[in-house]
């Protein structure tokens, strides 16, 4: 075969490779319809419509407290779950590169030299001699021409797996930010509970000292003294309980962060209730915002990967065309390896047609189709779960403002009732039992107010998470006519 023949063969192989890139036996992908309502039923609109675009909404625009921002940044740097997710992306990207490399021939160069001595008995002329040879060449072996798109389908499947892993990492990051914010806010609530219990204990101890003096003077009965002592011990028990809870919640926060959280990064005593911002909620929130949630996108990429696997399973029914070719030089001595007349070449195409494996190939295709059906159901379930999470958060938010206002009014009324009841007791009008009941009512109202404020702040965090990274900024993009379809 001449040099021109080799060139023509290589050009023909290149043309076949290019043409094979246009062939795909994978089913045409179509995103399944979302099995949820078009809009959320409960949306607490506030009349604002200037929310930022999703891509521009950073978590630092949602979490405003400087200490909280530092703690989240620390977690993004040190959290082990996030580190594992990042490494999985690198792993999936490496596998994608490996799979894509099969589209090109594995070209290798080789060279060698050998020497062998024949025995005297084996030599016709009765004397042993030494046979030497040298060679150098370049070529490729078993390069499969992807005529029916099998390798390309496998490459596309690896690509979608890589993208699904990237979305899983984004989901892990989003969940981590929300969990760290929630844990930090919980520590803040624990500190407020502990401060309230200490304030209550100090007040009760002052009352106990006064009551004890009155008891020695005979103006207060032993029953009333015992009742005051009961209040003091109850407050002491609450302090111990909240101190334990605070320590445990700090440990949980450090576990999430993956590094020590210094006291300077913990919430301050005068923490603002607006440490977590919430983007404006429009009157109508389109459920298509869910299509941009990272867990939903990860499920869709997995579905696309399985769809590509079907193409590879279909292509396996068709012949596999492979080529092996090499060219080089060979001679008896290394010194004249590249002299005239030492050129060598080889060209060996092959076709492999499955005949008796039809049953196994049909089974593999059926498995791929069933896996696609399973993943479609998984994708739909992911959307349904996302819809339920958003609907629950919106339903809770619809009543939180009214609850906070009612609780604030209740605390004010309880404070007035407690002050009046204590004044009546000191003037001998009522027994201390009435005052004790009023104080307990006030204490419980203040505790519930702290819990309710924590619930309201956590609801903001949850909305940031379940809407995929930025409360209702995604809904504003929908209102502007933007499409979330890729």
Distance of alpha carbon 432 from alpha carbon 211, whole angstroms? 10
How many angstroms separate the Cα of 117 from the Cα of each of 24, 102, 112, 126, 187?
A: 56, 42, 17, 13, 85
H/E stretch holding 121: none
pLDDT given at position 279: 56
pLDDT given at position 478: 35
Distance of alpha carbon 2 from alpha carbon 9, whole angstroms? 11
pLDDT given at position 215: 76
pLDDT given at position 114: 76
Distance of alpha carbon 228 from alpha carbon 29, whole angstroms? 74
pLDDT given at position 468: 78
How many angstroms separate the Cα of 255 from the Cα of each of 80, 179, 334?
A: 9, 11, 67
Distance of alpha carbon 336 from alpha carbon 443, whole angstroms? 102
Name beta bridge partners: 114.
133
The tokens for 432 are: 């201390």
pLDDT given at position 122: 57
Q: Which domains does the chain have, with CATH numbers?
A: 3-103+147-319+362-479 (1.20.1600.10), 107-145+323-353 (2.20.200.10)
pLDDT given at position 341: 72
The DSSP code sequence of 24-52 is --SPPP-PPPPSS-SB-S-----S---PP
Instruction: Put the strands of the sheet holding 107-117 in their side by side order.
Output: 107-117, 130-145, 320-331, 343-352
Distance of alpha carbon 347 from alpha carbon 12, whole angstroms? 13
Distance of alpha carbon 279 from alpha carbon 410, whole angstroms? 29
pLDDT given at position 309: 83
Asked if 35 and 380 count as a contact pair (C-beta separation under 8 A), the reply is yes
Predicted TM-score (pTM) of this structure: 0.73
**In degrees, to the nearest 5, what angle opens at C-alpha 368 toward C-alphas 102 and 366?**
125
Which segments within 26-129 are labelled E, that is strand?
A: 107-117
Distance of alpha carbon 290 from alpha carbon 311, whole angstroms? 29
pLDDT given at position 278: 63
Buried b (16+ CB within 10 A) or exposed e, 356-379: eeeeeeeebbeebbebbeebeeeb
pLDDT given at position 480: 39
DSSP-derived pairing of the beta strands 343-352 and 107-117: unpaired
Distance of alpha carbon 412 from alpha carbon 348, whole angstroms? 92
pLDDT given at position 356: 66
**Closest CA relative to residue 182, chosen from 269, 256, 92:** 256
User: Per-10-residue mean pLDDT for the chain, 486 residues long?
Assistant: 47 51 75 80 50 50 84 88 80 74 71 71 60 74 75 83 84 86 91 91 83 76 80 89 94 90 83 64 68 86 88 80 79 73 78 74 86 90 88 84 90 90 78 80 91 88 78 37 35
**Closest CA relative to residue 267, chosen from 275, 259, 255:** 275
Instruction: 358-366: list long-range contacts, CB under 8 Å, 24+ apart.
Output: 358/317, 361/313, 361/316, 361/317, 364/313, 364/316, 365/310, 365/313, 365/314, 365/316, 365/317
H/E stretch holding 475: helix 473-479
The tokens for 234 are: 């109850």
Name beta bridge partners: 133.
114
Buried b (16+ CB within 10 A) or exposed e, 450-480: bebbbbbbbbbbbbbbbbbbbbbbbbbbbbe
């Amino acid at each position: 075969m001449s040099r021109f023949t080799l060139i023509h063969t290589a050009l023909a192989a290149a043309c076949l490779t290019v043409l094979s890139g246009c062939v795909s036996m994978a089913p045409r992908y179509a995103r399944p319809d979302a099995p949820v309502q078009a809009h959320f039923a409960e949306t607490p609109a506030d009349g604002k419509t200037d929310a930022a675009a999703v891509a521009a909404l950073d978590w630092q625009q949602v979490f405003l407290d400087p200490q909280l921002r530092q703690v989240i940044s620390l977690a993004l740097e040190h959290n082990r779950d996030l580190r594992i997710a990042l490494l999985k992306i690198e792993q999936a990207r490496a596998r994608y590169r490996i799979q894509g490399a099969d589209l090109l021939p594995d070209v290798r160069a080789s060279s060698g030299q050998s020497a062998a001595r024949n025995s005297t008995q084996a030599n016709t002329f009765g004397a042993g001699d030494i046979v030497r040879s040298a060679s150098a060449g370049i070529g490729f072996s078993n390069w499969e021409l992807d005529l029916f798109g099998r390798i390309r389908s496998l490459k596309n499947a690896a690509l979608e797996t890589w993208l699904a892993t990237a979305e899983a990492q984004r989901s892990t990051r989003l969940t981590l930010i929300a969990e760290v914010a929630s844990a930090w806010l919980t520590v803040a609530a624990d500190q407020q509970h502990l401060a309230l219990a200490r304030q209550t204990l100090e007040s009760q101890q002052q009352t106990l000292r006064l009551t004890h003096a009155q008891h020695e003077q005979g103006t207060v009965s032993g029953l009333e003294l015992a009742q005051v002592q009961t209040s003091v011990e109850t407050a002491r028990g609450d302090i111990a309980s909240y101190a334990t809870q605070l320590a445990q919640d700090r440990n949980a926060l450090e576990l999430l962060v993956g590094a020590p959280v210094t006291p300077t990064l913990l919430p301050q005593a005068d923490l603002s209730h607006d440490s977590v911002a919430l983007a404006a909620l429009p009157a109508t929130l389109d459920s298509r915002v869910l299509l941009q949630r990272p867990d939903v996108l990860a499920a869709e990429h997995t579905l696309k990967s399985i769809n590509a696997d079907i193409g590879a399973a279909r292509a396996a029914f068709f012949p596999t065309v492979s080529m092996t070719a090499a060219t080089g030089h060979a001679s008896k001595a290394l010194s004249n390896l590249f002299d005239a007349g030492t050129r060598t070449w080889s060209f060996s195409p092959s076709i492999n047609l499955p005949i008796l494996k039809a049953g196994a190939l049909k089974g593999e295709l059926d498995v791929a189709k069933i896996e696609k059906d399973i993943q479609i159901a998984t994708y739909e379930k992911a959307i349904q779960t996302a819809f339920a999470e958003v609907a629950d958060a919106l339903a809770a938010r619809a009543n939180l403002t009214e609850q906070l206002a009612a609780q604030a009014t209740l605390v004010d009324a309880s404070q007035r009732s407690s002050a009046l009841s204590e004044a009546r007791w000191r003037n001998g009008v009522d027994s201390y039992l009435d005052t004790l009941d009023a104080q307990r009512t006030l204490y419980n109202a203040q505790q519930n107010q702290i819990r309710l404020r924590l619930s309201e702040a956590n609801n903001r965090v949850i909305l940031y998470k379940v809407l995929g990274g930025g409360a209702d900024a995604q809904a504003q993009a929908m209102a502007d006519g933007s499409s979330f379809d890729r």
